[in-house]
Structure formats: C-alpha cells, structure tokens
Amino acid sequence: MIIKKLSLGVAVGTALMAAAINANADSCLYVQSSPGGSFNVCEETVNQTYCDGVDGDWSANACDISNIVGSCVTPSSSIHYLEGSASSLSFGCGFQNGEWQDPAPTPDPDPTPDPDPTPDPDPTPDPDPTPDPDPTPDPDPIPDPDPVPGIAGPDSTALRALDSDSLCTVTDHGNYYSFVRTNADRRDNRGVVLYAGGGVAAEAYAKVARNLCITQQDAFIIKGDGVEIIQTNPMAAIEPILANPGMEKWAVGGHSLGGVIGSLFISSNPGLVQGLILLGSEPALPMQATGIKAITIYATNDLIETPEEVITSLALLPADTEVVEIEGGNHAQFGNYGEQAGDGEAEISSSKQKSLFKYELRDFMDSL
C-alpha cells in the first residue's frame, strides 16, 4: 500500500508566487483574506498555477470591472475589489506595495434632443392608469436554501459556489444540482455524483462540486443530508446518471456517510459506475468484486473518521485503491459547513484542504 501525502508548505507557496507573473495568463476570482476582513476580488494578470494556490477560479478572460469598488495596482498584478469600503481598502493597498485606483466614472450618454419638441395640443391622460396588479420580479435561478433545524448548513463560500458564471453553470434539477462547464469543455464525458455527509446540507459540498467542474468534469450533488438519503433514497444517484446518457464514465461517492451511501449504490448497480470516491469515509461492504477503481482521501486531524479507521477500511477496497493523506486537514473541511463537534482542529484552511485534493480527483477520473 502506498499513501500519497499532500501538504502545503512554504516552498510551495513561494513557487506559486514566483509563477504569478505570466504574460499569457489572465484573471482569477477568489476570496482575499486580510486583517481587515475577507473580500471577493478578481486579480489579473496571474496564471492558473497561482490561482489554484489561492483556491480561485481562473479564466482566460480579463476581469469584469464594471461594478468594482476600486483596484490595487501592484508591481506584479492588479487586484480589483468587488466589495468592501474603498477608504479601508485603499489604506490596505499600501501594505501590498500597491497604488489604489478608484473605478473610472461612467460617462452619461449624449442626450440627443427631440427634433420636434412641439407639445401635443391635446395631451389627454390615460383613462386607466392603474398599475400592473402583479409586478412580480424575475426570481433568482437558484435561491439560497432555507436552513433546516439540526442540519449543518452551507457557509458563504458554498453559497457563492452555487452561482453560475463564465466557467461553470449550476442548475437546480429538483432532486439534485448539476455543475457543468459553461463552455461544455469536458474531460471525455466523465461525471461525478456526490452524496452529503450525515446531518450536513447537500449545498455545503458546492465548492467540491465546483472544483470538479472547473477541472473539466461534470458534477452532481444529490439533495438531502446523508441520514435522510440513506433512510429514504440511497439509490438517488440513478437520476442524474440516467439523465446524462452521453457520459462514458461515472464515479459515485461522497463525504463521511455520503461515501458509505456511494458504496451501497455501486454494489446495487454492478457495471453502471466505474469509480468510488471516499472523502473522510469508508465503504459499507467489500468492494473487490465490483470491478471498480477507488480513491480514499483522509485528513490527519480528522477525529470523526480517523486515519486509522480509513487504513483499516482498505481491507474492503480493491488492491489498487489510491490512498491520499492531507496533512493538517480535518473532517469538516471536506465540506463548507463550519466546525463539527468532536472533530480535530485543522492546521490548514478549508480552501487549502480542498485545493490540495481537487487535482487528485481529476487525475482519478482520468484513470477510469
């Protein structure tokens, strides 16, 4: 058994910064954390390696600066702030060795005069000026989910990941969400279906699904927490699979109890799925006879599904199962729902934990 160990050290961070300046690179959307708070920013010009290091979404296009608060222009890049106080951000820009620039004012269009300003000689008012009785606004395509008592809900990062953009289109299908590349640039038509952990809202895994999407796999999250699903509909993954007959390869799995459910689905549907994904999880029963490949990813500080429990569960998995260890990560940071009682304390951020394993999942999908 070979365990691949992932960590984010100083050398890696230095390499990412050195790679930031790239004449062929463009923009990166991410959350910048500082002593003054956390802000959504778009930085250019930076390359994809740098963007991955800050757990951002890279684009070959320039930043959309139509609604920015302002920009901090540094010797290596321009950081456009999408939110925050301009006065506070301009002060902080100096600590980044940058120069603050307010957004350029939008000029008013040339008000062309009416060529015939003669008033109507009989400006009879409308006899029925009654307004439309139902001026209902256009609804948000994916509203934020209502909190459910007893269920750990998604944090702000997960909620942002539910928004469609130029990289990934997110659709609510009723029983599941889909995350599909906006430009339909997929990796050989491969899809991943994820189940949520026990007591955790499905939306809390939107960032994991989005990472799969931007690394060119279509991703699907079954709605409902793991306890609800295993009791009522553990075969729910069949719906997105049947709805996408063009997919050549599928992997099913999830976090914690979600991975258990994924293994039950695969065992009940032989030949339908080629891969099992376990995130801080283990299979419910032996998987050697299923003919699938498996990847199990665990965190060293996870006290819910401990590293020892994961290693013991390898006896139930195929001999060639890929085993990945995330140094300093914990159980809750496989999703975005805050701290979990009984879990270990993480030594890395939630975004770093996800950035460390997103390419492991991509490479696993490539191997199917």
pLDDT at 180 over 60: yes
Q: Would you state the pLDDT for residue 58? A: 77
Q: Encode pLDDT of 206-227 as tens digits.
A: 999 999 998 889 999 999 999 9
Take residue 163 and report the two structure tokens written for it. 């928004």
Q: Would you state the pLDDT for residue 65? A: 85
Residue 72 three-state SS: strand
Q: Would you place residue 10 in the very low, low, confident or very high pLDDT band (cuts 50, 70, 90)?
A: very low
Q: Would you state the pLDDT for residue 52? A: 75
pLDDT at 19 over 60: no
Q: Encode pLDDT of 125-177 as tens digits.
A: 544 544 444 444 433 556 666 556 578 889 999 999 999 988 899 999 999 99
CA angle in degrees (0–180, nearest 5) for 173-177-179: 120
When mean pLDDT is compared across 150-154, 301-305, 339-343, the lowest value belongs to: 150-154
Q: What DSSP line would sit under 72-121, residue for residue?
A: EE-SS-EEEESSS-HHHHHHHHHHTT-EEEPPPPPPPP--PPPS--PPPS
pLDDT at 93 over 90: no
Quick one: average pLDDT of 100-105? 83
Q: Encode pLDDT of 250-295 as tens digits.
A: 999 999 999 999 999 999 999 999 999 999 999 999 999 999 999 9
Percent of the chain with pLDDT over 70: 80
Please measure the distance between the N-terminal and C-terminal CA atoms of the chain and give it in whole angstroms.
19
Q: Would you state the pLDDT for residue 95? A: 76
Q: Would you place residue 13 in the very low, low, confident or very high pLDDT band (cuts 50, 70, 90)?
A: very low
Q: State the burial class of residue 11 (Cβ atoms within 10 Å of its Cβ: 0-12, 13-18, 19+).
A: exposed
Take residue 43 and report the two structure tokens written for it. 């930085």
pLDDT at 340 over 50: yes
Q: Would you state the pLDDT for residue 22? A: 36
Q: Would you place residue 18 in the very low, low, confident or very high pLDDT band (cuts 50, 70, 90)?
A: very low
Take residue 357 and report the two structure tokens written for it. 């394993």
Rounded CA-CA distance 192/279 in Å is 13
Q: Is the peptide bond before 45 cis (omega within 30 degrees of 0)?
A: yes
Q: Would you state the pLDDT for residue 286? A: 97
Rounded CA-CA distance 324/343 in Å is 19
Q: Would you state the pLDDT for residue 104? A: 77
Contact yes or no for 360/324 (Cβ under 8 A): yes
Percent of the chain with pLDDT over 90: 56
Quick one: average pLDDT of 170-188? 84
If you average pLDDT over every residue of the chain, what do you get? 84
Q: Would you state the pLDDT for residue 53? A: 75
pLDDT at 16 over 70: no
Quick one: average pLDDT of 178-207? 88
pLDDT at 27 over 80: yes
Q: Encode pLDDT of 228-246 as tens digits.
A: 999 999 999 999 999 999 8
When mean pLDDT is compared across 5-19, 83-97, 341-355, the lowest value belongs to: 5-19
